[in-house]
Amino acid sequence: MRPALEIDDVAVYYDKRRALEGVTLTVERGEIVTLLGANGAGKSTTLRAVSGLVRAARGRIVYEGRDISHAPADAIVAAGVGHVPEGREIFGEFTVLENLLVGGHTVPRRQIGERLEEAFRLFPVLRERRLQAAGTLSGGEQQMLAIARALMPRPRLLLLDEPSLGLAPLLSREIFDVIRRINADGVSVLLVEQNARRALALATRGYVLETGRLVASGPSAGLAADPRVRRAYLGLDGARRGAAT
């Protein structure tokens, strides 16, 4: 069985500025993989290239054995790829329900009610707020809505860009618990997350990007023990190597 996602030697440029250069990674089916790096390293660009929002200048992006490098974004969504962008990008003037219906625009009408129920079971607060303008939700509720919207078409691969950004620790833990549940239902996940400690605890494997290039990869436990990763992303130096991660 082919992996859920294969990115092979991908390069992306904004005008003449390099955003990604020679990036190669895989996400196996049913796996959570995290992509770590500083701001501007190319993490969001990687997700945007997979979902068709930016085009690779070189390389291949293969989803479940199908080359989607040049597929339009709507076709990629229809094929089973969901994308939760950084900053959520919900429609603030739309109600919660309307946002979910936008996410389900490819879903057959007869299945919409079932998909909405799935979203409300995953995030009960959205049922309570379904007629409320999305822009009036709290940050955590907006993140829940962004995830629920991406799940409406039942993607088999979910791209998550900074899902805990700006959230209080308690809400952050709740979001990570939801990601774990989504994955347990068989959805493969490529996760971009500034909270490297929590991301590595959740993921089976990880990759590290620096200025558009991959500089490290491996099982999460190995990356968490790597002195470079610990110094740069976990806030731990060599003298504290034995501390809990």
Same domain, 76 and 190: yes
Same domain, 169 and 105: no
Dihedral sign computed on CA atoms, order 46, 51, 53, 59: positive
Domain boundary among 154, 185, 205: 154
Number of domains in the chain: 2
| pLDDT tens, residue order, the chain (245 aa) | 899 999 999 999 998 899 999 999 999 999 999 999 998 999 999 999 999 999 999 999 999 999 999 999 999 999 999 999 998 899 999 999 999 999 998 888 999 999 999 999 999 999 999 999 999 999 999 999 999 999 999 999 999 999 988 888 888 899 999 999 999 999 999 999 988 999 999 999 999 999 999 999 999 999 999 888 888 887 654 433 333 32
Kindly give the pairing relationship between strand 205-210 and strand 213-219: antiparallel
Same domain, 170 and 239: yes
The pTM of this model reads 0.91
Domain annotation covers residue 149: yes
Same domain, 150 and 160: no
Same domain, 137 and 204: no
Domain annotation covers residue 41: yes
Q: Domain limits at 136?
A: 90-154
Domain annotation covers residue 67: no
Domain annotation covers residue 33: yes
